[in-house]
Amino acid sequence: MGFIILGRRKPNGGRLMNNSNSPMQTRGLLSILVVLLIWGSSFSVTKFVVTEVPPLTAAAIRNTIACLALLPFYLLSRRKSKPPLPFGKLTLMGLSGTTIYYLCFNTGMHYIPASTGAIIEGLVPVAIAIPAALFLKEHLSGRLVAGIILSVIGVILVGFVGTSGESKNGPLGSALIIGAVCLWSVYTLLSRTVKDYDTLQVTAVSMMIGTVLSYPIGMLEVQQLGWPVISWQAWLGLCYCGILASAVAYFLYNKALESLPAAQVGNFLNLNPVIGAIVAFIFLHESFTALQWAGGVLVIAGIWLSSKKSDPQPEK
């Protein structure tokens, strides 16, 4: 857990934004909104892909496509780079955000509906905001805490209670997605500690390391199941996930973390469940049980509550 000690507290108590950097804040907000649109749709695309391609093989192919997409931009930006990159941190980012993350995410999506996986992502702010408050000294308001609690209750209803009768592997799939959420929090906090380095290089190198480390796992799966026959639709889905959901979205996500606190970014990611569930409903014709609907409402209520601005605190 070496990343715990890497964050540095700013003189203003860990808050990075003020009136003087509002253009940076605006770019950060636009970046995270684009990320939400891409990632919100990626649940349905991933669900479609893993019905045809084994999950670990799909992860290795997706990550390879993402690396190939980032490679020319990385080579161009490398010429301008001066300080050496922190490869130790980038290796941890690669493991948490690429290698093990997609092992959990793709395997989990193999067992549960895309809409369920999307709603479980409502746990992202819990997994990001609490460690950010503990280790990066970012402020947690009462409203944010209340929103987190509602989101957790909602996720439990959607991912576990509401799916108890659907599939014997449903709880396993939900648990794997929760594991992916926790891994993403590690990636996010690590990304916050390397914000002084070139964003493109950080994104590309960490993803390349994570991709290389994922090959042995994918090769074991291929040895057991053989190389799958992949349709052009699945290849299209893999390219969408690799180029947009990985290469582009990871870059924009890290860009947003340069100017926005980790807890605020995690709060925005709460919209992923809503977007993901809507896309799954429209394109995959998935539906919720009554308990899942109730859980979805609680997650949305948590989003609304934690998104409201707290009253300004007096300066001390």
Asked whether the beta carbons of 242 and 102 are under 8 A apart, the reply is no
Asked whether the beta carbons of 57 and 228 are under 8 A apart, the reply is yes
Most confident listed range (5-9, 46-50, 71-75, 167-171): 46-50
Which run of H or E residues covers position 108? helix 100-111
99 pLDDT tier (thresholds 50, 70, 90) = very high
Instruction: To the nearest 10°, report the CA torsion of 68, 69, 75, 77.
Output: -150
Instruction: To the nearest 10°, report the CA torsion of 97, 204, 55, 265.
Output: 40
42 has a pLDDT exceeding 80: yes
Rounded CA gap, 154 and 120, in Å? Answer: 9
Rounded CA gap, 109 and 116, in Å? Answer: 9
180 has a pLDDT exceeding 90: yes
Residue 285 or residue 82, greater confidence: 285
Dihedral over Cα of 5, 269, 121, 312: its sign? positive
10 Å CB burial of residue 142 (0-12, 13-18, 19+) is exposed
Which of 121, 167, 135, 131 shows the shortest CA–CA distance to 295?
121
Most confident listed range (5-14, 123-132, 214-223): 214-223
Length of the chain: 316
26-36 pLDDT, tens digit each: 888 888 889 98
217 has a pLDDT exceeding 70: yes
The token pair that represents 61 in the structure block: 């192919």
pLDDT (0 to 100) of residue 236: 97
170 pLDDT tier (thresholds 50, 70, 90) = confident
* Mean pLDDT lowest among 18-22, 77-81, 177-181: 18-22
Rounded CA gap, 134 and 130, in Å? Answer: 6
- Please give the span between the terminal C-alpha atoms of the chain, in angstroms, as a whole number: 33
209 has a pLDDT exceeding 80: yes
Q: Kindly write down the DSSP assignment for every residue of 124-166, as one continuous string.
A: HHHHHHHHHHHHS-----HHHHHHHHHHHHHHHIIIIITTTTT
231-249 pLDDT, tens digit each: 999 999 999 999 999 889 9
